[in-house]
Structure formats: C-alpha cells, structure tokens
C-alpha cells in the first residue's frame, strides 16, 4: 500500500461543531449509523474530524448509548489552510449528484444551481447535493465543504453576482476565448466562478445578457460538444491547474 492509500483508509468526517483539544462533539444520527453499523467501529477507535474552520483533528469514538456516538477531540493533525475561492454555477442537469461530488473533489468553494430558460430539470434536492459534496470532501481530504446554495432563476443569479468576481461562462456557440488562454490572461488572485448552461444551451437573451455584464467573460472548451457536467468539471480542473492550488502537493 502506498502512503496515500494508507491515509485514505482513515475515516474523516465533517462536523459543524468547534474543534479543539478536550472538546466532546456529538455525531449526527447518520454518522453514528455509519460508524457503528457500516464501518463497525467500536468505542476507542480513532477518526479524523474537520469543520471548515479549525483544521483537522484526531478524535476518539465513544458510544454513550445505543445508536449514539460522541467524539473526544484529542489533537490537531493539520492546521486549517486557505483554499482557492472558486464558485461553480450550473443549470441543473440529470447527473447532479455526480457533479456535486466531482466539483467538491476538484476544490470548488461554492455550488450555485441556476434555473435558466432551457433547463429541463425542474427541482433540485439541495440537501442531497450538500450530502454528496460533504461526502466527497470527507474522502478527498479537503478541510472545507463547498457551500451549496438554494437554486435561483437566471435573472436573479446575474443580479446577485458580486461585481468583483470574474464570471466565466461556458459559451457553446464557439464565440468564447479558448479557456486556457483566458485563464492565463487573468491576474491572480481574483475571485472567480464558472457558469454552465443546460443541455439545451443558454437562451439567446441569456447569452445577450451575459455579454453585457462587465464582470462576465465567455470561454470555450474546444470543438466537441461537451455534456454540461463534463464542461463544468473540465473548466474547474483547468482553473485549479492554472490559477488554483494544483501547484501545491498533498500534505
């Protein structure tokens, strides 16, 4: 087994509570079930905890009652580190759980579902997306979990977008600048985000609206027609490689 594989076998869990030496943290019902009945841990086992603020901590499992688990926080294993601030906004597609999982692994800081005019998917289970994103964060050794926003309409989305955050939208009409060229032309560190359209593409008036925005830039991902989720993940990967934290290595 490699060093990495050995690290992957440790159980890591995201918690809301503050983490510090000597604190006791209550596991959620789902976590208790997972630890006791899926992973079959017993009292005294060690897990790693993170909450997005206090770094990663080792904790000892206790089982104060049937179906209840507590964590006794012992020592910090990694300090909290700053992570790239990249948002991913997307017209909901059928494979949303996959998108949330992969975006979390790739280090996106926020996920924003946007109902565009040609979006076929009419409902987003935000709680489910949060669970997917959290589980992926636990497994990929992130110290944060992406914030998953409630879905909004396209018009509300562009009205609320922060003016100082660059919005790269995936322009399937072929009029966008090639992605890498556009990213390499950016000054870092600029807060940024991507927006991907639905399978049916952006409506013409949405494209017109985006092209008017001073903070929005059309980008292209080549000659093939990518599925929406593929385009989103490809764009995020390129951003991390060129402007994000892929210049650093696993700790």
**Residues contributing to the site for its own copies (CB under 8 A):** 1-5, 7-8, 98, 102, 105-107, 118, 139-142, 172-176, 178-181, 199-204, 207, 220-227, 230, 233-235, 237-238, 240-242, 244-251
Give Dmax over CA atoms of the chain in angstroms: 61
Q: Which is nearer to its own copies, 27 or 48 (CB)?
A: 48
- Measure the CA–CA gap between 198 and 52, rounded to whole angstroms: 31
Least spacing, CB of residue 188 vs its own copies, in Å: 13
User: What tokens appear for 164 in the block?
Assistant: 């100082």
Least spacing, CB of residue 172 vs its own copies, in Å: 4
Q: Which is nearer to its own copies, 60 or 230 (CB)?
A: 230
- Measure the CA–CA gap between 99 and 238, rounded to whole angstroms: 16
- Measure the CA–CA gap between 217 and 29, rounded to whole angstroms: 44
User: What tokens appear for 175 in the block?
Assistant: 């009029």
Q: Which is nearer to its own copies, 126 or 226 (CB)?
A: 226
Least spacing, CB of residue 78 vs its own copies, in Å: 10
Q: Judge whether 109 and 89 are in contact, CB under 8 Å.
A: no
Q: Which is nearer to its own copies, 85 or 245 (CB)?
A: 245
Least spacing, CB of residue 181 vs its own copies, in Å: 7
Q: Judge whether 221 and 137 are in contact, CB under 8 Å.
A: no
Coil/strand/helix, residue 159: helix
Q: Which is nearer to its own copies, 129 or 136 (CB)?
A: 136
Least spacing, CB of residue 109 vs its own copies, in Å: 13
C-beta atoms surrounding 150 within 10 Å: 8
Coil/strand/helix, residue 152: strand
């Amino acid at each position: 087994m490699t060093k990495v594989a050995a690290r992957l076998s440790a159980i890591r869990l995201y918690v809301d509570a503050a983490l510090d030496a000597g604190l006791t943290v209550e596991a959620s019902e789902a976590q208790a079930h997972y630890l006791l009945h899926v992973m079959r841990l017993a009292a005294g086992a060690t897990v790693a905890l993170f909450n997005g603020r206090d770094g990663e901590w080792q904790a000892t499992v206790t089982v104060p009652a049937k179906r209840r688990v507590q964590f006794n926080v012992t020592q910090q294993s990694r300090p909290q580190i700053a992570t790239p601030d990249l948002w991913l906004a997307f017209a909901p597609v059928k494979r949303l759980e996959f998108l949330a999982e992969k975006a979390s692994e790739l280090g996106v800081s926020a996920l924003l579902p946007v109902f565009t005019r040609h979006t076929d998917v009419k409902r987003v289970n935000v709680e489910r997306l949060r669970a997917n994103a959290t589980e992926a964060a636990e497994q990929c050794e992130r110290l944060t979990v992406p914030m998953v926003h409630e879905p909004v309409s396209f018009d509300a989305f562009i009205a609320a977008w922060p003016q100082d955050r660059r919005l790269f939208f995936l322009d399937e009409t072929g009029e966008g600048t090639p992605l890498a060229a556009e990213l390499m032309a950016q000054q870092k560190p600029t807060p940024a985000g991507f927006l991907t359209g639905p399978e049916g593409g952006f409506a013409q008036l949405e494209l017109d609206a985006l092209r008017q925005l001073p903070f929005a830039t059309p980008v292209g991902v080549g000659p093939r027609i990518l599925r929406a989720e593929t385009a989103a993940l490809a764009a995020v990967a390129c951003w991390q490689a060129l402007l994000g934290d892929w210049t650093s290595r696993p700790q």
